[in-house]
Amino acid sequence: MKYRTIGTDPAHRREVSVLALGAMLFGSLTDEKTSFAVLDRYVEAGGNFIDTSDNYAFWTDGGQGGQSEELLGRWRRSRRVGDEIVVATKLGARPLAPGTGYTDNPEGLSAKVIREAAERSRERLGLEKLDLLYAHIDDHTVPQRETVEGFGELVAEGAVGLLGVSNQAVWRVERARALAAAAGLPGYEVLQYQHSHLRPRFDIPGEFSPDGSLSHAGAELLGYVRAEPALTLVAYTPLLAGAYVREDKPLPPDYDHPGTPARLAVLRDVAGETGATVNQVVLAWQIGGALPIVPLTGVSSVTQLEENLAAVDLELTEDQRARLDAAH
């Protein structure tokens, strides 16, 4: 395994494996035995960066979520896992009632929610301190200062280490970070956005914005990470849920544009040259690039995990990387 640092404050920054593991479906669509086997193998291979959320996976049973955190809590207790494993969780997008969702009825990012939701996550996970806590979505109904101060209080109290943000417009992230800096409070340092090798269209109305997707890492987000050394990008859905290689998983509609065939062709060329799979080329391209990007993959079997783990040792040549970067 290889590692990289997230966060800047010496009291809270962590060395995390360059491949993160998504536990979104653990305890719901992925049964306990399989989930534990995947977690055990990931840790055995040196992995120590696990991702969950307080709302995972509410859509699988029409509830409010929490199954993933609860499963991780049981796994931590049964394996006597200590603070060597970084468990990142998120709040803000838990539906307030069963049968509702994060777009129509989210808990949001008020100071009260931040305090109470973080407490519930700590209970489910069996953790005194959350190593990394993200704002899962934006909340325009609450002053940003309140959100920033709410997170800052938890860090000051020692309940949270690092802060992160997901699915927010870049200008909102920068505004929150500026508010935090001006108040002497910790700001978001880990940005979690959807990012893969194929580039999506950004003009299709997104879940959180009628103006287009705010969830994908685009030019503005990538340029922000490039300019700010404090930031790390955690790239979610890097394998497009399996769509690169699986007939049963068609590419999402936002990848249906003239730039896609050229990107797919170079991925297949490099896979052929290296003897690796297309999935591994995507992950290796993210891991070894100039930007600090940590791919975050979900898996439903140990076999899939093995394939993804092997990407950590796949070294691309400068020429391969240049062709992967340039294709459009």
* Interaction site with ligand NAP (CB under 6 A): 22-24, 51, 166-167, 192, 236-242, 245-246, 279, 296-300, 304, 307-308
CA torsion 141-147-148-150 (nearest 10°) is 160
Q: What is the 3-state secondary structure (H, E, C) of 107-137?
A: CCCCHHHHHHHHHHHHHHHCCCCEEEEEECC
Q: What count of other Cβ atoms lies within 10 Å of the Cβ of residue 61? A: 12
Q: What is the DSSP letter of 168?
A: -
Provide the 3-class DSSP secondary structure of residue 268.
helix
Cβ closer to ligand NAP: 145 or 274?
A: 274
**Nearest distance from C-beta of residue 172 to ligand NAP, angstroms:** 15
**Nearest distance from C-beta of residue 182 to ligand NAP, angstroms:** 27
CA torsion 25-29-34-35 (nearest 10°) is 20
Closest CA to 82 of 28, 30, 129: 129
**Nearest distance from C-beta of residue 65 to ligand NAP, angstroms:** 12
Instruction: Collect all residues with Cβ–Cβ distance below 8 Å to 106 and sequence separation of at least 6.
Output: 92, 93, 94, 95, 96, 137, 139
Cβ closer to ligand NAP: 105 or 304?
A: 304
Beta strands 190-194 and 160-166: pairing type? parallel
Phi, psi of 142 (to 5 degrees): -120, 135
Provide the 3-class DSSP secondary structure of residue 19.
coil
**Nearest distance from C-beta of residue 183 to ligand NAP, angstroms:** 26
H or E segment to which residue 67 belongs = helix 67-78
**Nearest distance from C-beta of residue 197 to ligand NAP, angstroms:** 11
Cβ closer to ligand NAP: 48 or 166?
A: 166
**Nearest distance from C-beta of residue 271 to ligand NAP, angstroms:** 13
Cβ closer to ligand NAP: 185 or 235?
A: 235
Q: Tell me which residue has its CB nearest to ligand NAP.
A: 22
**Nearest distance from C-beta of residue 10 to ligand NAP, angstroms:** 27
Cβ closer to ligand NAP: 144 or 300?
A: 300
Cβ closer to ligand NAP: 143 or 206?
A: 206
**Nearest distance from C-beta of residue 1 to ligand NAP, angstroms:** 17
Burial label, 241 (beta-carbon count in 10 A; 0-12, 13-18, 19+): middle
The residue type of 204 is: I
Record the tokens describing residue 38, joined without a space: 């995947």
Cβ closer to ligand NAP: 148 or 282?
A: 282
Cβ closer to ligand NAP: 30 or 320?
A: 30
